[in-house]
Amino acid sequence: MKEMTMDIIKIIGVALLTASMAGCVNNDINSRNQYNGSAPPPDYDVPAQVVYRIDDHRYISLENYDKCYGDNYYVDTKAKLRTKLWRGNLSRYKGRLSIDDPTGMNIVIPDAPAETCGDKGCNVYLAYSSDGGRTFKSKKYMQSPYPTKASENYSILVAQDGFYVVKTSEYAKGKFDNDVTKYPLAPGIEYDTVAGLPKGYHIEYLSNKPLPPLRTPSGQDRFTCDASIRPSNLPIAK
């Protein structure tokens, strides 16, 4: 009886450890929309802002915000999509973003929070979709003690078969010759998980090699936001 009890305890322990590990590797973008048990976000009376436009019917919308910090959505009016991303300030990403997949399936949206993260730095993520923005997953693309500042040296280029993460210490001079990594994108690919990439897909390191001339149809390659737009229903300071 004692041995049986110990076996049951071991089984329960393994189950709890497995559940804990699964929680650690969950990279669904929806998990970033939780508020950790705190009060829900306020309801600000501000008009939606388009902070990044891909073309005439696809864009990133900022809503319910103050000083550019608010709820971000991927919108496709033709497909009648409005997918919640996360609450934050996308304009803190100071690098370049070009989305140039002619099929419209691949979309990547980087983040670069302004937090100061100490010597080891923060893990900084981007959201990616391979189903036209219906669902998004997240992937770490940078680790930095000052993510917003560091993002100045990044360029993310999205193509039909994947996306490029380009890092250079001389981005302002138009150089793209430091560190280039190409990540494949296709249905079923999930980064930052235990499963890894499906068979037949692999990450390519393309430093010092020419990049394809990818360009967002709208011509926009950076996030914008008008920080002067403020809610009129801000809480009264006590």
CA 160 to chain centre: 18
pTM of the model: 0.79
The pLDDT value given to residue 2: 44
For 69-79, how does the pLDDT look when each residue is reduced to its tens digit (9 = 90+)? Answer: 999 999 999 99
For 33-68, how does the pLDDT look when each residue is reduced to its tens digit (9 = 90+)? Answer: 544 445 677 889 999 999 999 999 999 999 999 999
Dihedral sign from CA coordinates of 140, 141, 143, 144: negative
Question: Which residues of the chain have a pLDDT value below 50?
Answer: 1-27, 31, 34-37, 171-172
The pLDDT value given to residue 168: 77
Give the separation between CA 231 and CA 218, rounded to whole angstroms.
Answer: 29
Residue in the block written with tokens 């893990």: 123
E-assigned strand segments in 67-199: 69-76, 81-88, 96-99, 107-110, 122-129, 137-144, 154-158, 162-167, 179-184
The pLDDT value given to residue 7: 47
